[in-house]
Amino acid sequence: MPRFAAAYPHLRTVATTGTNGKTTTTSMVAAIVDAAGEPSARLTTVGAWVCGEQVPNPTPQEEFLFTVERAIAAGVRTLALETTSKALAAGLAQRWPAHVAVFTNLTRDHLDMHGTPEMYLASKAQLFIALPPGGTAVLNADDESSALLREVMPDHAHVERYSARDARGCALAARAVEVAPDGTRIALADGAFARELGGELELAVAGGVHAQNALGAALAARAAGYGAEAIRAGLRAFRGVPGRFEVVGRAPLVVVDYAHTPDGLVGTLATARELCRGGGRVICVFGCGGDRDRGKRPQMGAVVDERADLAVLTTDNPRREDPAAIAADVRAGAPSPRARWIAELDRARAIALAIAEARPDDVVVIAGKGHERTQEIRGVEHPFSDADVARAAIAAR
C-alpha cells in the first residue's frame, strides 16, 4: 500500500472494464495520448507499454506497480488501464481508484470464477463504486447493465453515455457506421461534441465493434482533458491490437479474433458478413475452452450456426477436458444445423482446412484465441499462434 499511495497522485487513470472491447478501448485511449504529444502508458491483458516500448514485468504480481512506476519516471500524465473482473474482485479499484471509468458491455463470461452473472457484474461495478470526487463514468447506453451501474455509483460521479444505435441521452453516438476491410468510418449523430470532432471519426481498423470502442475512448479521453484534434488523430492512427479482428490475409480475407463468448462472436461474425463481397461466404473456425463455463458452449454453437455459412469446429484450450466432449457440447447448440459443419479437433489442421476451402470472396474468421501464443492440452502449454498458423496456410494455398 505505501507504494500505491506514493505513485497514485502522479497519474490520471482512465480505466476500462466490460466483457468485450477492454483491450481495444484501452489501447485507443493510449493512442489519443500519443497524438496529443504526451508520453503514454497502457497496461492491458496482452501486455504493458510505456512510451511505445513493452515493459518486461518481473512477475505478474508486480506487473501493475512496476508499470506505473516506469510510467511516472518517463513523465507520463495519463495511464490507460484495462481492468479485469478478477483484478476488481481482488480490490484493485479501492487501492487505485480510476479518475475516468469506462464500461464497454456485459455478456456471459467467467462464470466459472464468479458463479453467477450477478456476481460477475458486481465485480465490474467496483470500478464505478470507487470513483473519487470529480470522477467520470463513461457508459455504453446500448448495454442494459449500464443502468444498474448508474444505480450503485456515488452521487458525485459525472456520467457520460455513448451509443452505436441511439443518440437519445448520449454525449456521443453513431448515426451510421461504414465498414471496409481497411478501416471504419463513423458518422456521428449531431451534438456539441460531435461537432467538435467534425461530425465523423475515421478508424484504420475494421469492424462495427471498433466503432463502439472508439466512441467510448473518445468520451473517456475528453473527460481526461484531451481535445478533439488529439482524439480524432489518435483514433485515426490506431492500428489495432493483435488478435482483435486482426487481418492476416486477403482474397480470401482471413482474420484472427479473440471472440470467445457468444456476444463476442455475434459482433465478429456480423462484421465478417458486412465484409463479404458479392456471394462470399462466412467461414468460422472456433471451439470452446475446457475446465470453464460449460453453459456457454451450446450458445456459441448456436451463434456460429446462425451467422456463418461453414462452421469448422475445433479445439480452443481444452486444458484437462476431452476435446471431443467439449465439441459435443458445442454441437448441441445446433441440433438442426443451418450451416455446413466440419469437425477437425486438431486446431492447426482446422485452420488450414478452412483457408483451403475458402474462395477469394469469402471471409474466414479464426475465433477464440486471438493474441494467445500457446495452446493448453492435458495441462501442458504448447507453442501455438492462430495468426502464424493462418499465414503459413495462406502461403501454402
Task: Give tens-digit pLDDT for 210-238.
Answer: 999 999 999 999 999 999 999 999 999 99
Please identify, among 189, 212, 237, the residue that sits at the C-terminal boundary of a domain.
237
185: closest CA among 244, 243, 138, 232? 232
At residue 328, the pLDDT reads 98
Mean pLDDT taken over the chain: 93
Please identify, among 237, 262, 283, the residue that sits at the C-terminal boundary of a domain.
237
Confidence of residue 109 (pLDDT cuts 50, 70, 90): low
Confidence of residue 206 (pLDDT cuts 50, 70, 90): confident
The Cα-based distances of 311 to 286, 361, 370, 372 in angstroms read: 8, 17, 18, 21
Q: What are phi and psi of 380, to 5 degrees?
A: -115, 130
At residue 293, the pLDDT reads 84
Q: Do 213 and 292 lie in a common domain?
A: no
Given 3-state DSSP classes, what are the helix, strand and coil percentages for the chain, each rounded to the nearest 5?
Answer: 40, 25, 35
Please identify, among 237, 266, 298, the residue that sits at the C-terminal boundary of a domain.
237
Note if the bond before 337 is cis, omega within 30 degrees.
Answer: no
Confidence of residue 194 (pLDDT cuts 50, 70, 90): very high
At residue 63, the pLDDT reads 80
Q: For residues 154-167, give the mean pLDDT.
A: 95
How many domains does one find in the chain?
Answer: 2
For residue 368, give the CATH number of its domain. 3.90.190.20
Q: Do 218 and 256 lie in a common domain?
A: no
Q: Do 72 and 185 lie in a common domain?
A: yes
Q: Do 148 and 68 lie in a common domain?
A: yes
Q: For residues 166-193, give the mean pLDDT.
A: 94
Q: For residues 164-191, give the mean pLDDT.
A: 94
- Domain span at 254: 246-395
Give percent of the chain with pLDDT exceeding 70: 96
C-alpha cell at 17: 472494464
At residue 114, the pLDDT reads 45
Task: Give tens-digit pLDDT for 39-65.
Answer: 999 999 888 999 999 998 766 667 888
Task: Give tens-digit pLDDT for 230-276.
Answer: 999 999 999 999 898 999 999 999 999 999 889 889 989 999 999 98
C-alpha cell at 273: 458478413
C-alpha cell at 289: 475452452
